[in-house]
Structure 1
Amino acid sequence: MIALKDILYKVTINAVVGSTNVMATAIDFDSRNIKNGYVFVAVKGTVSDGHKFIEGAVKQGAVAVVCETMPENLVEGITYVEVDNSSKALAIMASNFYENPSANLKLVGVTGTNGKTTVASLLYQLFKKAGYKVGLLSTVKIMVDTIEYKATHTTPDSLTINKYLKLMNTEGVEFCFMEVSSHGIHQYRTEGLRFEGGIFTNLTHDHLDYHSTFAEYRDVKKSFFDALPEKAFALVNVDDKNGLVMLQNTKSRKYTYALKGYADYKSQILENQFGGLLLKINDAEVWTRLIGNFNAYNILAIYATAELLGLEKVEILRLISELESVSGRFQYVVSENKITAIVDYAHTPDALKNVLETINSIRTKNEELITVVGCGGDRDKTKRPKMGHIATALSTKVIFTSDNPRSEEPETILKDIESGVEPQNYKKTVTISDRLQAIKTACQMAQPNDIILVAGKGHETYQEIKGERFDFDDFKIVSEFLKQLNK
């Protein structure tokens, strides 16, 4: 148990009714989880307002309530704390409740539109290979050294983050690499955490269903770097025009990386093939099994971060050569009759363009490039025509299909995608709403040496339709269909 006044340390408070000496057993922002001795934090979410559930939380045993607006009916014996922002307060309280676990390890946040999962996951892999105890908070999974936990969000809620960081402390974890999404920053989920460093990968068209403008999306990312402490490092990709924007107001140590422009960490692609990349990083050459220009950036970010965290240059290069690709990120299988199928999470226009350009830079052009792609429902609709345009401009054949339609009708989403196809590319396209049938059709269309790209879902092992999740793994499905064709 911990005193409420200790949980509230560093929280900006407007008013208190009752005693802050009351002892609490836990904190929660979901009223359904409240039990005797809990502190209930009423958060105004995107779907529902926690203030509506204060009365219920008190009946279930809450000893204290933290809220932005005091309820009209105050229950005697219950402590009420009014704050400006409940989400921000929750994050600071979570950190205090779990004894500020981020201060006991070296926490590095990775933010940007594309590459967050790859960079965080590969850093985890590299530091594990170097012999350290390491943590990972990513879209794909949460790792507490060697123990894996299921991930549900790119950036989990602040209670979940601190719970796992505390677990990492218990297990003796020294480094933790964490994806930091714009949603997570905007909703104050990283508030109260102490970061050793921050990495900026790039900024492209995404999440405009949540952020009203691109400038707002950029500035939310920037606020993460603004908040970094002086002793931390900020490492940014300056080939992206927003890279230097991220450094404008940061107090931290500033470092840059680039393939094209001048930077502290420079890389050059010497060879690019389906077997991997040969890179020159500053003055040293390194071979990696990862493929494509976008992975050259990811590898460079990893190299720079590892050096900034104190690893030796020669050791870093050796470890980079041993790294394996991340699940659902340019993950490929080659069938017996030489059909290559690639599964990638590319679900933004820029990510799709990068993957297709990478494939086109490697292939001989004597083979077909068949792309299977869709767009998620209840998300940024403005990117759908762009996805259709890019897919058809850079592929020889395209099958438009369902992604995670969520509450939308797949046919509506598909029409939005098709609207971006230029007239000369109509003949390249087929539309098959059923994703399973679309992948099967791509496999049946493919001839020896052809390449199939299944884009959009990557590591996801489900398809979300009308509020339900159904088992669906692109990589397993395309691998199975290719096996069947060989029989």
Structure 2
Amino acid sequence: MVSTVKLSELIRDIDIIKIHGDTSVDVTGIYYDSRKVSQGGLFVAIPGLKHDGHGFIPEVYKRGAIAVVGEKRKENLPDNVPSNLTYIQVKRSRRALAQLANAFYGHPSRNLVLVGITGTNGKTTTSFLLESIFNAWNKKAGVIGTINYRYAGIEEKAPVTTPESLDLQELFARMLKHGVSHVVMEVSSHALDLDRVYGCDFDAAVFTNLSQDHLDYHENLDTYFKCKLKLFCEHLAESLVQQPIAVVNIDDKYGQHIPNEPFYRKITYSLERGADIYPVEWKVDGSGINAVLATPSGKMEIRSPLLGRLNLYNIMAAVGTSVGLGVSTEAIRKGLANISRVSGRLENVPNDLGISVIVDYA
């Protein structure tokens, strides 16, 4: 991780409208929170729902910012913005932040096998399953999601499901430093809409399902789905990975509308024949799930202590992703069997009362 980067290098790939000032300066850090700016910092002014970052430009100058990136024309900035402060006008501040963060941290996702999981339900459990499978495959895995961010024995609190782009790229870089090779990330609709994962080079994208949720943010289900679709039709399309994979639940009516595209390999899963992954036979009871799955690699007998029919879907999503990434059958079976529980997700609570207690969505 570098200590400073020339501003001219950082802005090389962003969509610039106009540059005001010197770009030969050294940048010590990138910030989108005005309160955290320090000497030599580059501040990205983002128009928010409650506050507009452009209004804090005079403050960040006092804190030592040497340049600002923003959407507004320079003549529309606050009157007390110093004339000697370098200002770069861009089309979209959030997208510029993602590109700047990628450049500053050396495009870390290019050195990771990156899996993005999107959908209303099942993201967290599928991420746990893939983590267990990758570990069984002797790969050091990292996970970014609703419960926490974890890697190399380290657990960090998760203030949001998918971090802001700057925080995400810094986290990727930190994971690489700790020897992580595979990262599984829950990708929320908010993250897709706000360009938090813009510039990430995904090896795989997973669609679990879509149902009514977050409609306080999205206008309706169709708008919600279009946002999810970005992970496939934009981010996989722009990934530098050759032939990434798209793993799709086609029992979900919205999953059926994820198109076949030449830039990714599509792997489908369903409870019915006709998909790439489906159960030839299966049993779900209080001890877990036993199934024989048809896969592109042949039939696979699996067992997992996870409970419920919904977790069979999550298992198929994880198996489809793993097969697409070339994971061995032995590692897949071992990883599925080794997973103990997912906190608050159809979680069995042991007790001495002779009754079944299951906690879900806690």
Q: Please report the TM-score for the alignment, with normalisation by the length of structure 1.
A: 0.69
Corresponding residue number in structure 1 for 2:120: 113
**Aligned equivalents of 1:210, 1:248: Cα separation in 2:** 28
State the distance in 2 between where 1:100 and 1:271 align.
Answer: 44
Identity of aligned residues (%): 38
1:294 to 291, 310, 315: 310
Residue 238 of structure 1 contacts residue 261 of structure 1 at CA under 8 Å; is this kept in 2? no
| Aligned equivalent of 1:178, options 185, 192, 195 | 185
In structure 1, the residue corresponding to 2:278 is in which secondary structure? strand
1:150 aligns with 2:153: no
CA shift at 1:223, angstroms? 1.1
Could you tell me whether the CA contact under 8 Å between 2:164 and 2:196 is conserved in 1? Answer: yes
1:225 aligns with 2:232: yes
Report the counterpart of residue 236 of structure 1 in structure 2.
248
Mapping of 1:322-401 within 5 angstroms? 322-345=338-361
* Structure 2 residue 209 is matched with structure 1 residue 202: yes
| 2:138 aligned residue | 131
State the one-letter code of the partner of 2:130.
Answer: L
Q: Which amino acid aligns with 1:233?
A: I
CA RMSD of aligned residues (A): 1.5
Report what 2:320 is aligned to: 304
Is this contact kept in 2: 1:225–1:250, CA < 8 A? no
**What is the Cα deviation at residue 269 of structure 1?**
5.3
1:151: how far off?
1.1
Q: Which runs of 4+ in 1 moved over 3 A?
A: none
The reply on whether 1:189 has 2:205 as its aligned counterpart is no
Q: Can you list the C-alpha shifts for 1:377-430, whole angstroms capped at 9, x where unaligned?
A: xxxxxxxxxxxxxxxxxxxxxxxxxxxxxxxxxxxxxxxxxxxxxxxxxxxxxx
- Name stretches of at least 5 consecutive residues in structure 2 with no aligned partner: none
Find the counterpart in structure 1 of residue 267 from structure 2: 255
Q: Give the 3 Å change call, closer, same or farther, for CA 72–147 of structure 1 in structure 2.
A: closer
**Which amino acid in 1 is paired with 2:106?**
E
Match of 2:41 in 1: 38
Q: Deviations over 1:118-139 (max 9, x none)?
A: 1112211221232211111111
Within the alignment, does 1:318 sit opposite 2:334 as a pair?
yes
Q: Which residue of 2 aligns with 1:62?
A: 65
Alpha-carbon distance in structure 2 between the residues aligned to 1:143 and 1:90: 24
The one-letter code of the counterpart of 1:15 is K
Does the CA contact (< 8 Å) of 1:108 and 1:198 recur in 2? yes
d(CA) in 2 for partners of 1:118 and 1:131? 20
Distance 1:92 1:50, change over 3 A: same
Q: Secondary structure at the match of 1:169?
A: helix
**Contact 1:144–1:167 (CA<8 Å) still a contact in 2?**
no
Deviation digits for residues 286-326 of structure 1 (CA, Å, limit 9, x no counterpart): 22101111100101111111111111123312331222221
Determine the C-alpha separation between the residues in 2 that align with 1:319 and 1:133.
13
User: What does residue 272 of structure 1 align with?
Assistant: 284
Structure 2 vs 1, CA of residues 35 and 325 (structure 1 numbering), >3 Å: closer, same or farther? same
The whole-number CA distance in structure 1 between the counterparts of 2:243 and 2:22 is 37
Following TM superposition, by how much is the alpha carbon of 1:278 offset from its aligned partner in structure 2, in angstroms?
1.1
Per mean C-alpha deviation after superposition, the further-off stretch among 132-141 and 255-264 is 255-264
CA distance in 2 between counterparts of 1:300 and 1:162 reads: 29
Distance 1:275 1:166, change over 3 A: same
Letter in 1 for 2:158: A
Bigger Rg, which one = 1
Quick check: 1:269–1:296 contact (8 Å CA) kept in 2?
no
Shift of 1:77: 2.5
By how many angstroms is 1:148 displaced?
1.4
Deviations 1:13-61 (A, max 9, x none): 0011001111110011110111111111011123321111111111211
2:174 paired with 1:167:
yes
Structure 2 partner of 1:434: none
Q: For structure 1, which segment, 169-178 or 262-271, has the greater mean C-alpha deviation from structure 2 after superposition? A: 262-271
- List alignment gaps of at least 5 residues for structure 1: 346-457, 459-487
User: How far off its partner does 1:248 sit?
Assistant: 4.8
Structure number with the bigger relative contact order (C-alpha 8 A, sep ≥ 6) is 2
Query: In 2 relative to 1, CA 144–328 (structure 1 residues): closer, same or farther, beyond 3 Å?
Result: same
1:49 corresponds to which of 41, 47, 52: 52
Query: Is contact 1:122-1:326 (8 Å) kept?
Result: no
Residue 144 of structure 1 contacts residue 164 of structure 1 at CA under 8 Å; is this kept in 2? Answer: no
Mean alpha-carbon deviation: is it higher for 165-174 or for 308-317? 308-317
CA distance 1:43–1:192, shift in 2 (3 Å): same
Which moved further from structure 2: 239-248 or 185-194? 239-248
Instruction: Name the CA distance, whole Å, in 2 between partners of 1:274 and 1:90.
Output: 48
Q: How far did 1:330 drift?
A: 1.1
User: Partner residue of 1:420?
Assistant: none
Contact 2:193 2:227 in 1 (8 A): yes
Asked if 2 retains the 8 angstrom alpha-carbon contact of 1:222 and 1:245, the reply is: no
**How far is 1:334 from its partner?**
3.5
